Amino acid sequence: MSAYTHIYFIGIGGIGMSAIARYYRFKGLTVAGYDRTPSDLTAALEAEGISVHYENRPDLIPQDPEKTLVVYTPAVPSDFGELVYAQQHGYRVIKRSRMLGEITRGQRCLAVAGTHGKTTTSTLAAHILTESGEGCSAFLGGISKNYGTNLLVSHTPTVVAEADEFDRSFLQLFPESAVITAMDPDHLDIYGTVEAYRQAFREFAAQVSGTLIIKKGLPLSQQDTKARILTYSYTEAGADFHPENVRPDSLGYFTYDLVWPEGVVKDIRVGTPGWVNAENSIAAAALCLCYGIAPEQVRSAVGSFQGVCRRLDIHLNTKRLSYIDDYAHHPDELRSAISSMRDIFPGRKITAIFQPHLYTRTRDFADGFAKALSGVDKLVLLDIYPAREEPIPGVTSELIFNKVTAPEKLLIRREELMEFLTEEPLDVLATFGAGNIDRYIKPITELLKDRLG
């Protein structure tokens, strides 16, 4: 990296890309990039001195190929003008995942992989290391509410990384220790089959050199890795890390005693509500205890953790009206989030707005989505957010909608959402999805606050 003075990012507004951009800005390099649309994250990058533009402008790439590294996200089409220009004009061009692999090489890498739970678990692990005084750098898949960023930097040669399976990105990482939270099939547009998807996790496990902590029951064995395997579970007492004496309170916050191979850590109170956050806290605690963080420091940091934006993210909470947002975009994530909301808001009517993400995911998991979303009291289903994909004939939100058995359900276009909410009687409102539904969080919050007066 010493040969470069400039790094240019194609797709700089992505959560993973922006963390790397911030890292190299911190390191003193000149950082700039393109993204498709302005967002809160691109605004934050610009405020930090990173130049961002929103048009396909190859002429804005620094004109010195020898001194400029170009990093791109696989979400960008292969025929995108800036990417093609960089490839044809002598620039070194690499994927985001390769960049993260280069950053972590030579440091103690702690990685968190899994279909779901990896963002909260990795962010909490980074928080535990930071609060303990050990310190770490961290590349996170969400904005930490404790720190207001998706990047932490430290002089300690330890890196916490969210290990994303999309596009096989996590195979660029060779962690000292790692967590695998789930292996439920996803990204079948990339992998093709369930077995190929799971085989990628086995390949990731084979790259872990020290300790591999897996959710009990995952289809991994000691034959898959040279690392020591330990298990965790929120529900199974036979796991190496598991809770005892679980005490939820009336607001959905959980306190438990953590049993682990070296004893019991008493009275861990999770700083974020819902059983799914309690489960994630066990995984993060396990990773940090194995790293060598003292039990009392783990207990304290789990209690002071404020969570991650868009992960069971409560924006309004009164007895009359509450609003919670979550990134869930896979059937199992929706099922866990809705179940956790029942902990947080017992006995209340939950109205959920869901924006499906990707035509392929909708096609592959329509039955699972319908089953999970049937767990709310009223479903408002939006049209599919296509992201990088072209439409697939016959694949629409109706594939999910027709199979939903919730007491009430409604299918509307995204453009109709705010008008609908203006008149809709609400108790607990939830928004779900990985598309652009996040652009509605602030307007929805303001609308509901106005309703409360």
| Secondary structure of 307-323 in HEC code, one letter for each residue | CECCCCEEEEECCCCEE
- Among candidate residues 432, 315, 436, 451, the one with its CA nearest the CA of residue 381: 432
Residues 6 or more apart whose Cβ sits within 8 Å of residue 113: 163, 164, 165, 170, 178, 179, 180, 181, 201, 204
Q: Give the SS3 label for residue 111.
A: strand
CA distance 55 to 78: 16
Q: Which residues pair with 386 in a beta bridge?
A: none
pLDDT of residue 1: 63
pLDDT of residue 2: 73
Residues of the chain under the 70 pLDDT cut: 1
CA distance 307 to 301: 12
Residue labelled with tokens 């579970």? 233
CA distance 283 to 303: 15
- Among candidate residues 109, 107, 72, the one with its CA nearest the CA of residue 87: 72
pLDDT of residue 75: 86
Q: Are 35 and 13 in contact (CB under 8 A)?
A: yes
Domains of the chain by start residue, with CATH = 6-95 (3.40.50.720), 105-304 (3.40.1190.10), 313-452 (3.90.190.20)
